[in-house]
Amino acid sequence: MKKYAIIVAGGTGKRMGESLPKQFLKLGGTPILIHTLQAFYTADPEIEIILTLPQEEIQFWDELNIWHQNYIEHQVVAGGETRFHSVKNALQFVESGLVAVHDGVRPFVSAATIKQSYEQAKEKKAVVTAVLMKDSVRQIDEKGGSKNIDRSSLRMIQTPQTFDAKLLKAAYNTEFKSFFTDDASVVESYGHSVTLIEGQYQNIKITTPEDLLIAEALLEAK
């Protein structure tokens, strides 16, 4: 069965606060995005990789890749206004089989998690990685108050999120809605349930400056 991976890196990284989008920032001397592509190649070199980038960064990426050994084959697609639009653009180049969608800024995804995602998606069709909450959580109300939520009923959602390709394409054939923060929310809104599988705490999303410090430590410990 054909396997695709859509690596989304079409964002500008506002919360990181750097002029260079965070996916290009260096981690152990190598751009974050190159670590992420390597993770998928290591898991299975047969995976067809489609990478979304901001239109204005495509030339920069091409130049940056020239300097890196072990170039990993991939197709570049211009991203869109939101993550949803970036995935939708990339899906034009996906036919049938399985497709994993993964954040370009989650470089520590393990080969085992990637393999497990595709394996489970063969049967379940919509498979999403998740971890248990570590902190207590509270829901804020309009009056400025808050109430405790039972954290055992909550999960923190990660990527990869892996699907039957035809299902994901059909689900994305819709207009953007503000609650589409990931692919699971799009598929669920289409009417298909998602199966959660175990993610990994080390599979962090590099979002704010302290995440980069944590990422350097995780890389060191690898």
Ligand X SMILES: C[C@](O)(CO)[C@H](O)COP(=O)(O)O
* Shortest Å distance, C-beta 106 to ligand X: 7
Residue 24 is classified by DSSP as: G
Selected range binding ligand X among 29-37, 69-77, 115-123, 156-164, rule: CB under 6 A = 156-164
What whole-number distance in Å separates Cα of residue 16 and Cα of residue 10?
14
129 near ligand X (CB under 6 A): no
Site string for ligand X, 55-94 (x = CB under 6 A): ----------------------------x-----------
Residues 12/57, Cβ–Cβ less than 8 Å? no
36 near ligand X (CB under 6 A): no
Q: Which amino acid is at 193?
A: S
Torsion 57-6-40-186 (CA) sign: positive
107 near ligand CTP (CB under 6 A): no
Site string for ligand X, 94-113 (x = CB under 6 A): ---------x----------
52 near ligand CTP (CB under 6 A): yes
In the complex, the residues that contact ligand X under the rule CB under 6 A are 83, 103, 157-159, 181-182, 205, 207
- Footprint on this chain of ligand CTP (rule: CB under 6 A): 8-15, 23, 52, 79-83, 86, 103-105, 205, 207
